Amino acid sequence: MGKFEDERKAMVELLRKRGIKDENVLRAMEKVPRHLFVPEAFIHYAYEDSALPIGFYQTISQPYTVALMTEALEVKPGDKILEVGTGSGYQAAILAEMGAKVFTIERFEELLKTALETLSKLGYNVIGMVGDGSIGWSEFAPYDGIIVTAAAPKIPKSLVNQLKVNGHLVIPIGDLEVQELYIIKKIDEHKLDIKKKFGFKFVPLIGKEGWSEEKSKNNGR
Ligand code: SAM
């Protein structure tokens, strides 16, 4: 039996109990070794349903949040997905395990480097770049889905433009204290269907179509 396999199964059971239904998401989360995406010091907390620090004041998102956001994306094998906020690389691994072609952008070079190393060791072919993901990654657009793992003050127009019709953009929107998770479906070039879920807390999306670094330090003022 592989390392932490029982813990991973228990985590997935909890996700089921909390309402995650997409079997493809649950299967991926049962397979990907989350403990390899957290710093050594937190390895024994890797399968608890909580966010954990990964350095640079950033976090690996809570498993429930990863599952919920991934489910909302409605990923199909072969889909081209843009992730904004690579962090540890765990979310990218879940998407790759589900058969998506993943493009991911991270502000911090060191985080991206470590994440891509971990992903490559596990055999996931994810394409990453250091940069401001609030303006997307036009080179590979349009995308079947876009997932933003940091909170923005409003919906970034560039990301909507880089999304295919019928694709989903999943992004936390709000102030710096609390956000709603927006599940946005692009109906056509001019129409969006937006569903919202309450009560999330993400680190800020810092960039041209996110928060300015200064405002994020002054709590939005
Ligand atoms: N998806 C990550 C994982 O699985 O570990 C969780 C990421 S963490 C909650 C959010 C990440 O977004 C941080 O690593 C942060 O540096 C990054 N970030 C914030 N603003 C960004 C931007 N404009 N472009 C790219 N990355 C950004």
Contact 66, 94 (CB under 8 A): yes
pLDDT digits (tens, 9 = 90+) for 23-82: 999 999 999 999 999 999 999 999 999 999 999 999 999 999 999 999 999 999 999 999
Residue 137 CB–ligand 1 contact under 6 Å: no
Global pTM?
0.97
Burial (CB < 10 A; 0-12, 13-18, 19+), residue 109, is: exposed
Q: Is 137 helix (H, G, I), strand (E, B) or coil?
A: coil
What's 205's domain CATH number? 3.40.50.150
For the chain, percent helix, then strand, then coil, each to nearest 5? 35, 30, 35
What domain range includes position 150? Answer: 2-218
**Ligand 1 geometric centre to CA of 151 (Å):** 9
CB count in 10 Å sphere of residue 33 = 17
Cβ distance 110 to 58 under 8 Å? no
**Which residues are marked as active site?**
61
What separation in Å is there between the alpha carbon of 150 and the centre of ligand 1?
Answer: 6
Spatial CA neighbour of 115 closest among 95, 135, 98: 95
Number of domains in the chain: 1
Say yes or no: CB of residue 87 within 6 Å of ligand 1: yes
- Nearest-atom index, ligand 1, CA of 90: 4
Does ligand 1 have an atom closer than 6 angstroms to the CB of 69?
A: no
**CA–CA separation, 116 vs 11, rounded Å?**
24
**205 in contact with ligand 1, CB cutoff 6 A:** yes
**Lowest-confidence region among 33-37, 81-85, 214-218:** 214-218
DSSP 8-state secondary structure symbol assigned to residue 94: H
